Chain A
Amino acid sequence: MGTSVQVTPLCGVYNENPLSYLVSIDGFNFLIDCGWNDLFDTSLLEPLSRVASSIDAVLLSHPDTLHLGALPYAMKQLGLSAPVYATEPVHRLGLLTMYDQFLSRKQVSDFDLFTLDDIDSAFQNVIRLTYSQNYHLSGKGEGIVIAPHVAGHMLGGSIWRITKDGEDVIYAVDYNHRKERHLNGTVLQSFVRPAVLITDAYHALYTNQTARQQRDKEFLDTISKHLEVGGNVLLPVDTAGRVLELLLILEQHWSQRGFSFPIYFLTYVSSSTIDYVKSFLEWMSDSISKSFETSRDNAFLLRHVTLLINKTDLDNAPPGPKVVLASMASLEAGFAREIFVEWANDPRNLVLFTETGQFGTLARMLQSAPPPKFVKVTMSKRVPLAGEELIAYEEEQNRLKREEALRASLVKEEETKASHGSDDNSSEPMVIDTKTTHDVVGSHGPAYKDILIDGFVPTSSSVAPMFPFYDNTSEWDDFGEIINPDDYVIKDEDMDRGAMHNGGDVDGRLDEATASLMLDTRPSKVISNELIVTVSCSLVKMDYEGRSDGRSIKSMIAHVSPLKLVLVHAIAEATEHLKQHCLNNISPYVYAPQIEETVDVTSDLCAYKVQLSEKLMSNVIFKKLGDSEVAWVDSEVGKTESDMRSLLPMPGAASPHKPVLVGDLKIADFKQFLSSKGVQVEFAGGGALRCGEYVTLRKVGPTGQKGGASGPQQILIEGPLCEDYYKIRDYLYSQFYLL
């Protein structure tokens, strides 16, 4: 039997909820993706919480909330402690996305699901891989090799290949086969016949994808139309994913057309995002790296886009039409929501959605047809406390501090007593000391007390309190004192000082304003008010999601033709549709499990390994076919010294086998081949090929999709007895290898 593989969805099946799947390979549990939605609905994570502690490794595929949003929370609250694997951009941009989420949330609510520190610590231990890096797991996962490959949806976005014993499990969601400005298309089609493919049916029903040029034209026309009449354009975007493509489109268009309308990119982390993206050229499309190699033009050196990190900068910007790209795409939080509320009632303005909003969010509501005339929006804001509230708050804080101090001093006293319990005499001065200090300095006492006590750590055996004393005995031998050379080595302190000096903040850069916001401990509170917003601005949705459409998905899966297929992440209809399609055309093993339903996709493929003995191989004559070579072997099983099965040549003559014709005949190619040999050929009706005057050749039987479940090819050649017939038959034979 092959490697055991089980797939258990934890979130994101039969709907568009965030993605999170448990894939267990021979008992090693992978959590693939760890997503959350923009509403941070904890109920979605319940299945995850039940298995979090048993997870051995986490693989992340894309740097957005839907794919990694729950990571900090799961690490902090759910007991997830496995190493995380991701590509460098997914790690970095994912971190920034989470910062942006947190800061946007913190602005409008008392957000307490996770803190910035939790984000930092969750991302601190990410093991970063490059595309096609075969990473060999060790320990429990010995023998498993993981490798991320280009997905084409977001910068650094990966499809994951997990290999054990030569069997591939491929996880590919949200891939895009089309090359974009900043990304290469996915390499999914380079995998052939994996044991298991886990993929999404998200776009299975979506077919009318317009050509890129036309779409870009419409996109830019719509924007310029609104700008020219004096309107503003808002593009609600994600923090660091698809927005990069939009920025490039706008940037390019602006420099071609010489537009002077300002473009603003507004998120809490916009400038760091672009700074990092500038150093990620290795991960981008060939054309971008090529242009850098030849002219050193970094595509993300944005000349027309102004990066903003707070709303005041936008408010202070010169009035007039402008384009603003702001997070979050869902309009549930962040600058985009504020701006939407401000701009919605002006009919000249445009809100341009570039992706389908998450289910149940404001963006989704606005994308419904027909768009709502009014929306009810709860606007919340964090304001500093003032007046009586502030005083009350301060009093409360002081009271808490005092209590804390008192408790601490009591604890200390207890400890001191305990440690000196055996010897009352010696401890007495200490106790008195504490008390006096306490009395004198009042609430500031504990601090002093700590210092005093710190100086007098009594060892358990000590008679009286004393400063720590270390017996400095040195060892001597015949040649004098023994010297430890390490004591005399000059440490690399000097260089590290610089690093500490500059780079103490290991966890990524925050913009100054953001930092101030983060460090801002001024007492504040959140006030909310409900408004009815009249939506009179134009609402347009265009597809810049960067995912393959239904038809491409089908042909891609057909090309990959996995032995078993698991479908996830799509509404029920799409899942069902794709499932039926695949059952009919690709594989009889298609699964679409429910949440927490475990499907066993262990391949029933039998396999064993044998050694090919030199004796056997010296008699085998290979025939080359494409990039592989084939031969027929007749052999007898033997054993090697290391008790491994080995194949030896048959001792007598091998019994004859049924001959096999190997090869893949393409009628069109064959036609060319024949005409190059001077045979007159033409296509007759019904896919038949008429060769010479009388002979016809055709493929019969079901012409299944390539590599699909179709059997061997059936070719029919017929004609009257004549020389031509035998000539053409010989040509036909030459296209095959007879084994």
Chain B
Amino acid sequence: MASSSASLKRREQPISRDGDQLIVTPLGAGSEVGRSCVYMSFRGKNILFDCGIHPAYSGMAALPYFDEIDPSSIDVLLITHFHIDHAASLPYFLEKTTFNGRVFMTHATKAIYKLLLTDYVKVSKVSVEDMLFDEQDINKSMDKIEVIDFHQTVEVNGIKFWCYTAGHVLGAAMFMVDIAGVRILYTGDYSREEDRHLRAAELPQFSPDICIIESTSGVQLHQSRHIREKRFTDVIHSTVAQGGRVLIPAFALGRAQELLLILDEYWANHPDLHNIPIYYASPLAKKCMAVYQTYILSMNDRIRNQFANSNPFVFKHISPLNSIDDFNDVGPSVVMATPGGLQSGLSRQLFDSWCSDKKNACIIPGYMVEGTLAKTIINEPKEVTLMNGLTAPLNMQVHYISFSAHADYAQTSTFLKELMPPNIILVHGEANEMMRLKQKLFTEFPDGNTKIMTPKNCESVEMYFNSEKLAKTIGRLAEKTPDVGDAVSGILVKKGFTYQIMAPDELHVFSQLSTATVTQRITIPFVGAFGVIKHRLEKIFESVESSTDEESGLPALKVHERVTVKQESEKHISLQWSSDPISDMVSDSIVALILNISREVPKIVVEEEDAVKSEEENGKKVEKVIYALLVSLFGDVKLGENGILVIRVDGNVAQLDKESGEVESEHSGLKERVRVAFERIQSAVKPIPLSAS
């Protein structure tokens, strides 16, 4: 993409204690390999990256530590790729927990996810109670999974995210999440080396604030791809040329397709090999071939260009093999078979029958789990135990050529140097390897501004981001750009993490919200002269205007320009006003007044001569109230000189001037609190102004 050349600016983010807390907690893959699952929480939004299981354990023990979190609080779950250790606990999490957020993965991942897990359920031979989910759960989960295309930006509850190519396997993605301007990159498994069919992991256009990165390879360096491939093809060529058979035990998906591409191309370039058959013996791989033949767009330009001529995943020299019964073992051949660890199945059957012939060869194409036969034979023992329990000499040649698609140290360090994230969190790596990587990375970023963290499972990493809240003032309010000291009042609308300030009557213009006015009209039974009401109202309210209703010609009164009182008929009075708290109050008092007239209770008389006095009294009352409230808030409040209140809290002293509202104190926190409290008290004890400004 053309954007790759865009300059990467390191985001200046002073990390201070004040700010919003961001928590990253690995629920799996923290200082271990397997069951990737990383929880992240920031400003009330919760995200889960990946949902894998640990291949070495079974049942509940293989799950990530879901107990640490509340599944129902998760907004978004993002799956990077289809491997078991990244996606396999998804059916469980979707169907057996309270999770009700949204799940996203790429198209290719979703297509393979189903095939892979269905196969996983079939082959994992565990007891029924240990079964985490069955095929039905997988099918149900398919309906809940949403797809996301590379670079497509999706927004859920204000969480923005998009994904980049990760290069690890078909459909593998790195997710970039943006919450209120803070960006987090989760790489999943990635590889920065372009291979035969996959693109190298992209360098994101923006530098993230936090990079959660895999560390499988630790500080290792990979052999160059070219040399690996040459070793691979040379071994195969020489073996079959001498009439031997080549066994490649491999995992069904991912690297296997890459190896098949290499073989098919090598065969195409060497016509002398055309009579030697190549088989891939994996029903799963055969099923997935359609996916590989379809999602060409997720692959690299090389494949896309080849696609212009013919689909490179329609192999010309390679055929599928369903079972050993269909295999006619008569001469030299190349067979790629599952499982990769030679535990059982077809790869083991072939191994057993071929291992004692020194013409044959076995190529182990990647990382092998401890305890499997494949791992054992890498050390080339003299003898091996066959499936039937007998021992046989191991005469066949064994080669270990790693085609692992994890970034090695060189790739990781350049990737991080380009991105320069201020925070790096290492996951998905064996603890020792991870520490070595951490040490080595520290030497690469000597400036000390980069934090590198290696949390263990359930260990939270806390960070603070002072995310600036920016608002846009629009519409009438923004006609004049205000200067310092001007007042801005309006409705603040928050959507996701964007803020807008607007005038109330423009709310419907700039947002999907609307305002309403509620007009109320009530009728009150009243028998008597309308003039009485008028008289009484004038006694109580400052402004009572007389008018006549235009339509009916009946007399009407308008009280405080809010409430209209009208004589509807001989027996009824109607009140009409538009709702707001003050008008409601005024109308209530009018209603009470009208009802009282009919009941003839003692009159309400205004004592005009006492007006001055009562004001004084009122002032005293107010002071008492203020004092009482301050005492209830701060405890130690003493009356000082000149109407100054002295407030003591924990040895800090604040002096409050009641007249001006000014506060003096050496402790700024207390000062601010007293000031705010006093302001609020004052606005509470003040009479309600009837006229809205």
Contacts and interface: CB of A to CB of B under 8 A. Distances in A.
B494 A622 contact: yes
Nearest to B524: A721
B68 to A, nearest CB: 28
Contacts, number: 317
B491 interface: yes
Nearest to A286: B147
Contacts of B471: 609-612, 647
B488 A647 contact: yes
Interface stretch (A198-206, A237-245, A656-664): A656-664
A426 to B, nearest CB: 48
Interface stretch (A126-134, A368-376, A409-417): A126-134
Interface in B457-492: 468-476, 478-479, 481-492
Contacts of B478: 606-608
Interface stretch (A27-35, A101-109, A251-259, A290-298): A290-298
Contact of B487 (A136, A278, A629, A650): A650
A360 to B, nearest CB: 36
B514 A738 contact: no
B613 interface: no
A347 interface: no
Contacts of B470: 609-612
Contact of B111 (A129, A292, A490, A664): A292
Contact of A279 (B294, B494, B525): B294
B443 interface: no
A170 to B, nearest CB: 16
Given A281-B295, A605-B474, A612-B470, A661 B579 contact: yes
Contact of A131 (B149, B501, B507): B149
Given A289-B107, A635-B487, A717-B521, A612 B514 contact: no
B490 A505 contact: no
A729 B147 CA distance: 46
Contact of B151 (A133, A607, A635): A133
B523 interface: yes
Given A639-B484, A729-B520, A629 B591 contact: no
Interface in B483-541: 483-496, 499, 501, 504-505, 507-525
A133 B152 contact: yes
Interface string A704-737: 0001001111111111110001000100110010
A282 B297 contact: yes
B432 to A, nearest CB: 31
Nearest to A655: B693
B128 interface: no
A625 B513 contact: yes
Contact of A294 (B114, B205, B293, B504): B114
A: contact size bracket = 35 or more
A482 B295 CA distance: 48
Given A637-B482, A721-B522, A659 B306 contact: no
Among A490, A498, A631, the one with the most B-chain Cβ atoms within 10 Å of its Cβ is A498
Contacts of A112: none
A138 interface: yes
A503 B490 CA distance: 62
A166 interface: yes
Given A606-B479, A622-B494, A633-B488, A279 B518 contact: no
Given A294-B142, A490-B224, A645-B482, A652 B679 contact: yes
Contacts of A134: 153, 162
B154 interface: yes
Contacts of B487: 634-637, 650, 654
Contacts of A495: 196, 225-226, 229
A293 B142 contact: yes
B512 A626 contact: yes
A657 B472 contact: no
Contacts of A660: 491, 504, 507, 515
Interface in A599-652: 605-612, 614, 617, 619-620, 622, 625-639, 645, 647, 650, 652
Nearest to A638: B484
A280 B582 CA distance: 63
Contacts of B499: 612
Contacts of B115: 296
B153 A147 contact: yes
A718 B509 CA distance: 29
B41 interface: no
Interface in A231-288: 275, 278-282
Contact of B306 (A138, A499, A632): A499
A298 B292 CA distance: 12
Given A136-B6, A282-B149, A628-B512, A715 B518 contact: yes
Interface in A110-133: 127, 129-133
A703 to B, nearest CB: 12
B473 A293 contact: no
A430 B438 CA distance: 69
A713 B514 contact: yes
Contact of A632 (B3, B114, B489): B489
A557 to B, nearest CB: 16
Given A657-B693, A714-B516, A606 B492 contact: no
Nearest to A499: B302
B: contact size bracket = 35 or more
B522 A281 contact: no
A506 interface: yes
B661 interface: yes
A627 B508 CA distance: 15
B227 A490 contact: yes
Given A279-B297, A605-B474, A713-B514, A610 B522 contact: no
Contacts of B686: 653
A713 B142 contact: no
Interface in B277-318: 287, 290-291, 293-297, 302, 305-312
A477 to B, nearest CB: 27
A713 B515 contact: yes
A668 to B, nearest CB: 16
A281 B581 contact: no
Interface string A542-567: 00000000000000000000000000
A163 B229 CA distance: 47
Nearest to B494: A629
Nearest to A133: B151
Contact of B519 (A278, A707, A714): A714
B423 interface: no
A645 B157 CA distance: 28
Contacts of B676: 619
B514 A712 contact: yes
Among B153, B311, B312, the one with the most A-chain Cβ atoms within 10 Å of its Cβ is B153
A83 interface: yes
A633 B489 contact: yes
A638 B515 CA distance: 29
Contacts of A659: 580-582, 692
B123 interface: no
B308 A505 contact: yes
Nearest to B107: A282
Interface in B424-482: 468-476, 478-479, 481-482
B353 interface: no
B689 interface: yes
Top-8 shortest CB links A-B: A503-B305, A718-B521, A133-B151, A606-B478, A713-B516, A659-B580, A628-B495, A653-B683
27 contacts: A127-B1, A132-B153, A192-B512, A275-B307, A294-B142, A502-B309, A607-B473, A610-B472, A612-B499, A614-B18, A628-B513, A629-B493, A630-B513, A631-B494, A632-B491, A637-B482, A637-B488, A660-B504, A661-B579, A662-B504, A662-B514, A712-B514, A713-B516, A717-B521, A720-B524, A721-B522, A729-B520
Given A292-B294, A653-B683, 18 more contacts: A133-B153, A282-B107, A282-B295, A292-B111, A498-B265, A609-B473, A611-B469, A631-B494, A632-B489, A633-B492, A653-B682, A654-B489, A662-B514, A663-B515, A712-B514, A712-B515, A715-B517, A715-B518
